[in-house]
């Protein structure tokens, strides 16, 4: 077998980590590649699901005795605590590895400390290899753990002139089936889908992740969160159908902001407490505006249909912008055609604390 460089091994570890996206939460995605003393790959693994073996354990099981004296290349600092699984730092020590290369340190105070434990055992530890790339692949979990509330993605669908529905209120369908399939795939990568009670009353959405071809539900369903300050969600609403867990978040339960509505930072803090690390903000325009005005949106994913309506509801209402100088600036990171539509991905340049 041909030996590989540390950089190549980390690139492979990052690719392995991505395989766990959508199934590991509330744990992070992690990939690991084990090299023997000659630099040959003898084991690799990724964290596939919460409660399952960590990436290092999978890779060590593959490598067996060949890990001794070798190098473990890991996307995230090995954990140093016992939860549903044992500490990976101890497993690496027991396996006799000589070096551990880490892309990103663990910001979770409960699990961090693996690097120090490894060094105390005489193992060489190097941090920061391909850190930016590894951060990008684990951005939701890392962001959530560092600040205590989920990574929020605002998703919207609109015509080229920014309309989310026609003047008569009809909105099915603004975008193509290809775009809608893409949205359901996106839902499958997050822990929660957020919608306002206005959207629930107007559209009665399911807010589940489904196969649109045959209607079957995805195995893993995000938590459905309805922001409903006054508790107006009807008992027969489809979000209460049992297809997925649902939380009707009221001001009485979460707490009210200055406007008397659900306090959004408190909402996100409670979602984090419930294990939500990434959330998809889907409906509707007023709730999206409130999130943007409060600086609570981390990423925007817009599906723009090649249609114009000239009238009808817009995809976004009051976002706290009164003059052009206060416009919320976005950095485009991707523009992809999905069927006849465009999927535009962007990051807010500035966020309020």
286 is in an annotated binding site: yes
To 10 degrees, what angle do helices 6-17 and 55-63 make?
Answer: 120
> Is 277:25 a contact under the CB 8 Å cutoff?
yes
Is 54 annotated as a binding-site member?
yes
The reply, when asked if residue 273 is annotated as ligand binding, is no
Q: Is 352 annotated as a binding residue?
A: no
CB neighbour list of residue 234: distance below 8 Å, 6 or more residues apart? 200, 201
Mapped onto helix, strand or coil, the DSSP state of residue 18 is helix
Residues making up the chain, counted from first to last? 353
46 within 8 A of 31, measured Cβ to Cβ: yes
SS3 string, 291-336, reads: HHHCCCCCEEEEEEECCCCCCCCECCCCCCCCCHHHCCCEEEEEEE
Please provide residue 17's backbone torsions phi and psi, each rounded to the nearest 5 degrees.
-55, -40
- Does the annotation list 86 as a binding residue? no
| Residues tagged active-site | 56
Q: Is 270 annotated as a binding residue?
A: no
203 is annotated as contributing to ligand binding: yes
The answer on whether 229 is annotated among ligand-binding residues is yes
The verdict on whether residue 32 carries a ligand-binding annotation is no
The answer to whether the annotation marks 157 as part of a ligand binding site is yes
Please answer whether residues 251 and 231 qualify as being in contact, where contact means their C-beta atoms are separated by less than 8 angstroms: no
Is 171 among the annotated ligand-binding positions? yes
Query: CA neighbours within 13 Å on the CB side: how many for 24?
Result: 20
Binding residues for Zn(2+): 54, 79, 88
Binding residues for NADP(+): 157, 173, 199, 229, 284-290
Binding residues for substrate: 171, 187, 203, 207, 210, 282
Binding residues: 54, 79, 88, 157, 171, 173, 187, 199, 203, 207, 210, 229, 282, 284-290
């Amino acid at each position: 077998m041909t030996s590989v460089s540390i950089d190549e091994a980390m690139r492979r570890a990052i690719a392995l980590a991505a395989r766990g996206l959508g199934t590991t939460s509330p744990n992070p995605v992690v990939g690991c590649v084990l090299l023997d003393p000659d630099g040959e790959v003898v084991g690799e693994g990724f964290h596939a699901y919460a409660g399952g073996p960590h990436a290092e354990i999978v890779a060590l099981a593959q490598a067996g005795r060949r890990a001794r004296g070798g190098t473990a290349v890991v996307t995230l600092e090995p954990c140093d605590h016992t939860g549903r699984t044992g500490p990976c730092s101890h497993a690496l020590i027991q396996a006799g590895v000589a070096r551990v290369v880490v892309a990103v340190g663990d910001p979770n105070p409960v699990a961090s400390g693996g690097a120090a434990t490894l060094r105390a055992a005489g193992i060489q530890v190097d941090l920061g290899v391909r850190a930016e790339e590894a951060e990008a692949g684990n951005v939701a979990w890392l962001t959530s753990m560092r600040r205590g509330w989920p990574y929020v993605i605002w998703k919207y669908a609109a015509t080229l002139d920014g309309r989310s529905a026609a003047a008569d209120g009809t909105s099915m369908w603004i975008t193509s089936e290809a775009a809608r399939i893409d949205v359901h795939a996106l839902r499958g990568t997050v822990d929660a889908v957020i919608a306002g009670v206005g959207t629930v009353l107007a559209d009665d959405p399911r807010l589940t992740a489904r196969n649109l071809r045959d209607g079957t539900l995805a195995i893993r369903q995000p938590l459905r969160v309805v922001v409903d300050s006054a508790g107006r969600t009807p008992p027969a609403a489809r979000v209460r159908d049992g297809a997925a867990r649902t939380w009707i978040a009221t001001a009485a339960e979460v707490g009210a902001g200055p406007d008397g509505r659900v306090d959004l930072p408190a909402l996100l803090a409670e979602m984090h407490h419930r294990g939500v690390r990434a959330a998809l903000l889907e409906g509707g325009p007023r709730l999206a505006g409130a999130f943007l005005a409060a600086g609570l949106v981390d990423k925007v994913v817009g599906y723009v249909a090649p249609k114009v309506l000239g009238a009808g509801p817009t995809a976004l209402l009051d976002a706290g912008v009164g003059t052009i100088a206060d416009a919320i600036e976005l950095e485009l990171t991707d523009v992809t055609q999905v069927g006849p539509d465009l999927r535009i991905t962007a990051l807010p340049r500035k966020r309020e604390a």
